[in-house]
Amino acid sequence: MMKSIVLAFAGFASGAIVSAGVFAFIAAIGLVPRMAFRSKTKNYIRFYEDVIVLGGLFGAVASFVSYHLPAIPLLVAVFAICIGTFIGVLAVSLSEVLNVMPILFRRTHLTIGLPYLLLAFTIGKMFGSLLYFLQGGFFIP
C-alpha cells in the first residue's frame, strides 16, 4: 500500500518537472512572441498559452492511451504542415542559429545579399528534410 502511494507520488512529481522543463524551453526560445508579433495577434497570448498546455497534454498522454482519430488524409496533411511550421520556427529561433548569421556576415565582410542567404538557408532545410524521409538510410525505422 505504501509502495503504491510512493509510486503514484513519483509519477506525479516526474510529470510536473517534465512538463515545466519542456514548456520552459518553448517559452524561453521566444517562439510564441515572434509568431504573435508577426501575425499581429498580441492580445491572444493567454489563449496561446492554454493551447500549448492542451497540446502538451495530448502528446504526453499519447504514450499511454491509444487514440483513434478519424482517418481523413486531409486532416493528416494539415497536421503535418502545422508540425513542420512549428519545427521550422523552432529551428531558427534557437540562439545558435540566430547568432550564426550575424557572425558569418561580420567575418566575411558581407553587407549585401542577406535576403538571398536566408532564402538559401530555408530551401536547404526543406531539401534536407525531404531527402531525410524519401531517401533511405538516414534513420532506423
Min separation Cβ 4 and another protein, Å: 6
Does position 130 bind another protein by CB under 8 A? no
Min separation Cβ 11 and another protein, Å: 4
Does position 132 bind another protein by CB under 8 A? no
Binding residue for another protein, selected from 75, 76, 79, 113, defined by CB under 8 A: 79
Q: Which phi and psi angles does 30 have, rounded to 5°?
A: 75, 30
Min separation Cβ 120 and another protein, Å: 23
Q: Binding segment for another protein among 45-53, 95-103, 106-114, 121-129 (CB under 8 A)?
A: 45-53
Min separation Cβ 45 and another protein, Å: 6
Q: Is 132 helix (H, G, I), strand (E, B) or coil?
A: helix
Binding residue for another protein, selected from 75, 76, 77, 87, defined by CB under 8 A: 87
Q: Is the CB of residue 26 less than 8 Å from the CB of residue 52?
A: yes
CB-count burial class (<10 Å; 0-12, 13-18, 19+) for 90: middle
Q: Is the CB of residue 31 less than 8 Å from the CB of residue 93?
A: yes
Name the H helices within the chain.
Answer: 2-28, 31-38, 45-61, 73-93, 95-108, 114-134
Which spans of this chain sit near another protein (rule: CB under 8 A)?
3-4, 6-20, 22-28, 30, 32-37, 39-42, 44-64, 78-79, 82-83, 85-87, 89-90
